[in-house]
Structure 1
Amino acid sequence: MAGGAVASVGGNAHIQHLVDPNRTWYNNRRLIFLHLWILLLLITSSTNGFDNSLMNSFQSMPQWEDYFGSPTGGKLGILNAIQNIGSLAGYPFAPYLSDGLGRRTAIWIGATIMLVGVGVQTASYNLSMFIGARFCVGFGLTFAANAAPMLVTEISYPTYRAPLTSLYNSLWYTGNIVASWCSYGTERIDSTWSWRIPSLLQGLPSAFQFFLVLLAPESPRWLVSKGKEAQALQTLAYYHANGNEQDPLVQYEFEEIRAAINLDRENAVNVGWTALFKTPGNRKRIMLIVAIAWFSQWSGNGLVSFYLNKVFDTIGITDSTTQLLITGILAIWNLCWAVFASFLVDLAGRRTLFLVSCAGMVVFFVGQTICSAEYALHGSAAAGHAVIAFIFLFYAAYDIAFTPLIVSYTVEILPFSIRAKGFNVFNFVVSLALIFNQYVNPIALENIAWKYYIFYCCWLFFQLVFCYLFIVETKNRTLEETAALFDGEDLSARVIDGGGVAVDEVRHDEHEDAPKISTLSERPTFPHDGSSSSDEKASV
């Protein structure tokens, strides 16, 4: 694995003097365009959120229930699980598309397949057709969801990388919101269009990506891995330094990427599926990735995400309009907390957010369990309302870490050589956990009702202990530097030898007037030369 050449230095302080202080996301035209491209990638998560929320809304919609014969038990389980079964079918191919054809191409292929699935789902006239369409959506989503967050983290400007990557999974709730409120509005339509319209809207993110994503910048790391170093340097310079290839930050990024990938090429242990388990550092990575992937779906949130209407039934809220309204409000609540937490990742740190999130979930889920029991045993209306309050509080705690961090943390702890494969493992485990939950939850709720919550109370306490013992802090490091936290300083130092050029000795011999950086402690003078002309600044 590739380690950062200066990974012994914590935080972004060692590269802060390489960043032009006048180049910010709101006043630099090329950074604005870069962030628009990143937004196109981030909405991949909206498709996933839309589909998952759609099934929850459909189950509260009489028109859908009547049309498909009010599926229950195992049939309802397969309806909710089939998208993830489709995702499982795509996992063997996803990393090869991302690493072989490129991040952009993999996203485009995924978007195309999802559009086919959305079309079939909207036109469904029986349950088999509906199930097949959801399988197709899940299959396509695998390719897009594997490549999109990696491309976000690999093209982002260094100071904005962590919040932007964290926003990826947070925007799951934008799809959740559109699906919930669209279903709330169309529920009044007395025909099958009450559920066909929300199904059709599910394809909007994929439609944007189908037409635009191939125009977005490709990952400089992927380009270097394919021997296209000149194109990689040009991409970094265009978006990170207004086209100035001799910019100190661009040179630092480029040399660090090249050194890390050159080392991977020289060490066969760093490539292939077996590389995920060959070194102590990689085994620790996989342990963390599998754990947070499983935790993300086994925190009790699956009861709300897919079976909120069943939870409502256990506390006496049976009106479909009321159920859809609460679902829509909960989606907005979740988005606000997740986005808020996304901008705390570098300030508070990943470990702190994980621990606060786990502790909060334990407290609030225990409260939800107690109130559910009180309602079931004594029929207390106040206890039923308290369950709703605890659901909202529980999700606030969940959204502090397990919405924004599960993707960004996974991507950043994986070096480039195994990033696609390791992230594929993450998605695979998520799907396994979802499929298990989606089969078990409706059966358990139907048979033991609130007593099922006790299991999650115990499991949430286990999650808290695990995160306390094993979560590694990674805030304010470059992607290459994070590897040193897992692989040690010896491998970090070898990146310099493997790359042939030390990344802390960036020099610009061809341009005598450009800043010369012999050590990272020397600060260049800004503003740069004429390459940062005023016409590159956006009007604000």
Structure 2
Amino acid sequence: MSTGLTEVWLCGKNFSITLTVALIGSICGIPFAPYVADTFGRKTAMLFGALIVVGGAGLQTASQNAGMFIGARAMIGFGTCFVQLAAPLLITELAYPSHRPALSALFNPMWFSGSIVAAWGTFGSFRIGSNWSWRIPSALQAVSSVIQLFLLWFIPESPRYLICQGQDEKALYTHIKYYANGNRHDPLVEYEYNEIKKAIAIDKANAKGTSFSDLFSSAGNLRRMGIIIAIAFFSQWSGNGLISYYFNLILNDIGIITPFDQTLMSGILQIFNFVTAIIASFLTECCYLRNSVPFNLDGTIDIDPATGKPVKGDEKAAFMYITVVFLFNFFYTIAFTPLLVSYTIEILPYKIRAKGLAVMRLVSPAGLYWGTTYADFIFIYVNPIAFNALNWKYYIIYTIWDAVETVFVWLYAVETKGRSLEETAVLLEDLSVTDIVAQCAHKHVHFSRGKDEGGGFDLRDADEFSISDESIGRAF
């Protein structure tokens, strides 16, 4: 790609096309990714996606014309869809019970690790006076996928997937090795294995099909998908889009116009977001969702920069504006970044977990390559017009909308703190069913805290505590 074509396709209006084609590639992968993950396994889906991303990054790096560049962008978006759908499923379904909340919440914040590489890679390469100024950032897109391709061979498959496929011995071996350091008779291993096996068996017996329509086939599933679609939409419509997509335009408006200063500011902001999200991930079990999300949404309301846009050249106003941007990102990152993916997975039963997550990916761009949603197209094509017409007043619309989001989350979101993955899957079903499963899960939680806290758990208690297939069946 010549320098002239680079200027045409990587700058100005045509930049929207290079961005949108990656979104289209991701959307094209959504109908297929859940079926690959459910049929061939979480690891296979990740392997398939990572290979496509590496190939796409290589093609983009070697592009000689606009067609190659655009095609490579589509490949990267398509492959990323498979990786980003299968990876959080594997993490959540494989994690040790007491570690699951933090580990599943850490998945989405890891997006910032790639964002940091992109921001600082661009910061270092923009000075290069040749095509390598964009070839280097293009090649860096493959780094995370190359790491995945090497490490995938050292991690086990999801025990829940293995049991669903009838490979019970492999699933049991995974529990023995990673949950009990090889102790076949560890009570936690037996309890967790039997709980998963029974839940999946009932799940299969009550399954009506394997299509996306199952997501809306019952009252419980309708409630789940209503919450998931709402929070996914909220994650992209809280005012964060104006910062993430138009950060450089905002910097231009406040007098920060040099490429050095803009790329430096972008790199610092990504590191700040990354650190904030990591800390928030480890605190997910210390806070309740219905308290933490509204609190942090309220924070975004309080600091939405809707009081006016600083005048170019006014250093004090520019400093204040940048401070407000960092404060906004702090609250947003705590509210949505750790919980969006982990919460979605937690409230979905196994048979619809992958498909439900795919729908969330369609609605929200969080975790996919720069986004894959209809909201993204509005951000690309509508927001610039509204922002130019209304200027700082456009923020007021988002300020009001953040208040609406706060009320919705408080009223309709259910709390998953302190529950097992199998228990959270029935939280939105009939209360009597939820109560029965809760009793079983609470025995498990009590045992997992250790005998030092008083008593421990005896598997004989589990034998005496029965749950009818009919009762659980209604929950799945």
TM-score (norm 1): 0.77
Deviation, structure 1 residue 130 = 2.1
SS in 2 for 1:198: helix
Q: Deviations over 1:461-511 (max 9, x none)?
A: 211121121121101111101123211344458879xxxxx999x9xxxxx
Q: Does 2:351 align with 1:409?
A: no
Structure 1 match to 2:74: 135
Q: Deviations over 1:431-478 (max 9, x none)?
A: 212233222233333444333222222221211121121121101111
For 1:66 and 1:135, the matched residues in 2 are separated by: 17
Q: Does 2:249 align with 1:310?
A: yes
SS in 2 for 1:111: helix
CA contact 1:302–1:437 (8 Å) conserved in 2:
yes
CA contact 1:85–1:135 (8 Å) conserved in 2:
yes
Which stretch shows the higher mean deviation, 230-239 or 310-319?
310-319
Q: Structure 1 residues 295 and 77 mapped into 2: Cα distance closer, same or farther (>3 Å)?
A: same
For 1:396 and 1:159, the matched residues in 2 are separated by: 27
Deviation, structure 1 residue 301 = 1.3
**1:73-472 correspondence to structure 2 within 5 Å:** 73=13, 75-269=14-208, 271-365=210-304, 368-372=305-309, 374-375=310-311, 380-430=314-364, 431-432=372-373, 433-472=375-414
Structure 1 match to 2:416: 474
For 1:285 and 1:99, the matched residues in 2 are separated by: 20
SS in 2 for 1:211: helix
**1:51-62 correspondence to structure 2 within 5 Å:** none
The alignment's C-alpha RMSD in Å is 2.6
Q: Deviations over 1:315-351 (max 9, x none)?
A: 2221111110110110111011101100111011222
Q: Structure 1 residues 206 and 444 mapped into 2: Cα distance closer, same or farther (>3 Å)?
A: same
**1:468-507 correspondence to structure 2 within 5 Å:** 468-492=410-434
Any gaps of 5 or more consecutive residues in structure 2?
Answer: 365-371, 448-456, 465-476
Displaced runs of 4+ in structure 1, greater than 6 A?
A: 493-496
CA contact 2:47–2:152 (8 Å) conserved in 1:
yes
For 1:166 and 1:203, the matched residues in 2 are separated by: 24
For 2:254 and 2:444, the matched residues in 1 are separated by: 60
CA contact 1:87–1:139 (8 Å) conserved in 2:
yes
Any gaps of 5 or more consecutive residues in structure 1?
Answer: 1-62, 497-501, 507-514, 523-540
For 1:233 and 1:219, the matched residues in 2 are separated by: 11
Structure 1 match to 2:467: none
For 1:316 and 1:250, the matched residues in 2 are separated by: 60
Q: Structure 1 residues 121 and 137 mapped into 2: Cα distance closer, same or farther (>3 Å)?
A: same
For 2:258 and 2:56, the matched residues in 1 are separated by: 31
For 1:291 and 1:383, the matched residues in 2 are separated by: 35
CA contact 1:293–1:429 (8 Å) conserved in 2:
yes
- Alignment-mate amino acid for residue 346 of structure 1: E
For 2:41 and 2:424, the matched residues in 1 are separated by: 23
Q: Deviations over 1:338-391 (max 9, x none)?
A: 0110011101122222112211111111xx12142x538xx7442232111100
Q: Structure 1 residues 428 and 232 mapped into 2: Cα distance closer, same or farther (>3 Å)?
A: same
For 1:186 and 1:93, the matched residues in 2 are separated by: 36
SS in 2 for 1:217: coil
Structure 1 match to 2:7: 67
Deviation, structure 1 residue 72 = 2.7
Identity %: 44
For 1:94 and 1:105, the matched residues in 2 are separated by: 11
SS in 1 for 2:128: coil
Deviation, structure 1 residue 169 = 0.3
Which stretch shows the higher mean deviation, 230-239 or 129-138?
129-138
- Alignment-mate amino acid for residue 419 of structure 2: R
Q: Aligned pairs, how many?
A: 441
Deviation, structure 1 residue 270 = 7.2
For 2:179 and 2:263, the matched residues in 1 are separated by: 44
Structure 2 match to 1:518: 460
For 1:212 and 1:174, the matched residues in 2 are separated by: 17
Which stretch shows the higher mean deviation, 182-191 or 449-458?
449-458
Higher relative contact order (CA 8 A, sep 6+): 1
CA contact 1:256–1:503 (8 Å) conserved in 2:
no
